[in-house]
Structure 1
Amino acid sequence: MLEVLKKEFGSFFNSLAGYIVLVIFFIITGLFSWVFPQSSILSNGFANLNPLFDLAPYLFMFLVPALTMKAFSEEVKTGTIELLLTKPLTDWSIVLGKYFASLTLIIIALLPTLVYYYTVYQIGSPIGNIDQGATIGSYFGLLLLGTVFSAIGILASSITDNQIVSYITALFLCFIIYDGFSLISSINIWSTYSYQISKWGIDHHYSALSKGIIDSRNILYFISMTLIMLFASKITLSSRKW
């Protein structure tokens, strides 16, 4: 697994893809958090990072598929997938290696935003007047969100040899799983089932974590969704041997 992880992680920075994703994420979160008056932390009068945590899931929705779209698609298109499958590696080692490479890059993308936290901490009145529980919960939620979106991206890449199709498929699935269930639950015909339907979506669990509510049910949801997507990727990869 480590061999695949190193190879995939290195490929991110051997091309512009990894750098572009990191720069775009940092610039857009910076603009919305500090520059644009409608969402600026400096304008809302509260020492919190809500603009960052509200925007980041949608940025992940667009940027994570861009990281994962070539994970398997490029291997299949160039024919190197056969070479990879002949190596003494299990299917799980290949899937997890590619998965953890993209997840590592997501973590790297989040690290610079700690500068935002330090800044808000310092400008609070008094210094340190920031909801620590909600902030920690939100970062934890973003990390878990990244685990699911990365797994979705790996799955989308494993089912096609076209990177554009992989990107669009991953983007669609990320949107449906994040916001789709909330939108469906808002339809009046569901009546008393609305809340239960909304619980199937990531937004419900991410919002709970963003309030500082570290509930085992929310964590279990993210872990379950990640495992389902990775298991589906493993099955897809195994089917190429048949």
Structure 2
Amino acid sequence: MRVFYILFRKEFKNYFLTPFGWVVLALVLFMQGLSMSSAMEQMKDAPMLDNFLLVSLKTPNFWFYFLFIFPLLTMRLFADEAKTGTLETLMTAPVTTTQVVFSKYLAAFCFYALLWLPLLLHLKIFALVTGQPAPVETGHILGTYSILLLMGAFFLAIGCFASTLTSSQIVAGIITIAFLVILFFLGFIPYYTGEGFKANVLFQYVSIQEHLINFAKGLVDTRPIVYYLSMAGLFLFLTHMTLDFRRWKV
């Protein structure tokens, strides 16, 4: 446990000891504010049935920066160490592959979770600007944070796996974003195929857009929870297997 904590602390601190982590935090903070500003404009122009958080998360701005968070956070985890040669040194040290994989993954997940804390600040700013509390309930906030963390767990695992496949950060980032874009567009297939397509149930089950909308409305479903956690486990297992293969090669 002590070895795991040392590895985790080292990886987590790297996000704050380099300009990269602060740039990502500033970028996400800016884009969150932009999405909420767009939501306020929409709610000002016409009545909205959805709550304020859901309106802001359904804007194109949100999906643009949301999908790019994960390659930014994960592309360097293993690829950079493979390029500099420190990964081989790490693999020959008295640490297990499991400790290496989960320490890097957990550090990325904790930093990712911190990126969403400013949402609460934006809700406070909304109240200060308008003089009224934001049109959102506690259930909406909890549901939104739940689905963002669940999707983050899955997508970060994809990024970790991609980072073990190459020694190039750019290639790892491209692989990650390619996976995520495919998952994103799978959710649109039912809209184009119509209700008669029998596989629509499957595409709706994996639709990240549907999951986000339902949870942001406070409608918590156990099926997406099982889906995201199981898929995160699968990709972490693949990451472990790939890294273990490198260990034996060393």
Q: TM-score range by the shorter chain?
A: 0.7 to 0.9
2:181 is matched with 175
Map 1:70-149; keep pairs closer than 5 Å. Answer: 70-120=76-126, 127=133, 129-149=135-155
Preserved contact between residue 92 and residue 234 of structure 1 (Cα < 8 Å): yes
Output the aligned Cα RMSD: 2.5
Normalised by the length of structure 1, the TM-score is: 0.88
For structure 2, the residue ranges without an aligned partner over 5 or more in a row are none
Aligned residues: 240
1:13 is matched with 16
C-alpha displacement at 1:147, in angstroms? Answer: 1.2
Preserved contact between residue 158 and residue 176 of structure 2 (Cα < 8 Å): yes
Q: Which amino acid in structure 2 is aligned with residue 21 of structure 1? A: V
Q: Which amino acid in structure 2 is aligned with residue 97 of structure 1? A: S
Question: How far apart in 2 are the matches of 1:182 and 1:128?
Answer: 29
Which shows bigger deviation, 39-48 or 152-161? 39-48
Per-residue displacement from partner, 1:79-100 (whole Å, max 9, x unpaired)? 1111111222211111111111
Tell me if 1:214 matches 2:220.
yes
1:49 is matched with 53
Question: How far apart in 2 are the matches of 1:118 and 1:96?
Answer: 35
Tell me if 1:204 matches 2:204.
no
Q: Which amino acid in structure 2 is aligned with residue 53 of structure 1? A: L
1:61 is matched with 67
Per-residue displacement from partner, 1:172-214 (whole Å, max 9, x unpaired)? 111222x132133334287132132221233332332122111
Could you tell me the percent identity over the aligned residues? 29
In structure 2, the residue corresponding to 1:234 is in which secondary structure? helix
C-alpha displacement at 1:132, in angstroms? Answer: 2.6
Seen in structure 2, the aligned counterparts of structure 1 residues 212 and 150 have a Cα distance that, compared at 3 Å, is same
Seen in structure 2, the aligned counterparts of structure 1 residues 193 and 71 have a Cα distance that, compared at 3 Å, is same
In structure 2, the residue corresponding to 1:151 is in which secondary structure? helix
Q: Which amino acid in structure 1 is aligned with residue 239 of structure 2? A: S
Question: How far apart in 1 are the matches of 2:25 and 2:145?
Answer: 17
C-alpha displacement at 1:38, in angstroms? Answer: 7.9
Question: How far apart in 2 are the matches of 1:78 and 1:143?
Answer: 31
C-alpha displacement at 1:114, in angstroms? Answer: 0.8
1:239 is matched with 245
Preserved contact between residue 71 and residue 173 of structure 2 (Cα < 8 Å): yes
Question: How far apart in 1 are the matches of 2:40 and 2:128?
Answer: 22
For structure 1, the residue ranges without an aligned partner over 5 or more in a row are none
In structure 1, the residue corresponding to 2:115 is in which secondary structure? helix
Preserved contact between residue 147 and residue 215 of structure 2 (Cα < 8 Å): yes
Q: Which amino acid in structure 2 is aligned with residue 116 of structure 1? A: H
Question: How far apart in 2 are the matches of 1:41 and 1:170?
Answer: 34
Seen in structure 2, the aligned counterparts of structure 1 residues 105 and 191 have a Cα distance that, compared at 3 Å, is same
Question: How far apart in 2 are the matches of 1:197 and 1:37?
Answer: 28
Seen in structure 2, the aligned counterparts of structure 1 residues 42 and 23 have a Cα distance that, compared at 3 Å, is farther
In structure 2, the residue corresponding to 1:212 is in which secondary structure? coil
Preserved contact between residue 145 and residue 206 of structure 1 (Cα < 8 Å): no
Divergent runs of 4+, >3 A: 36-47, 55-58, 119-129, 184-187
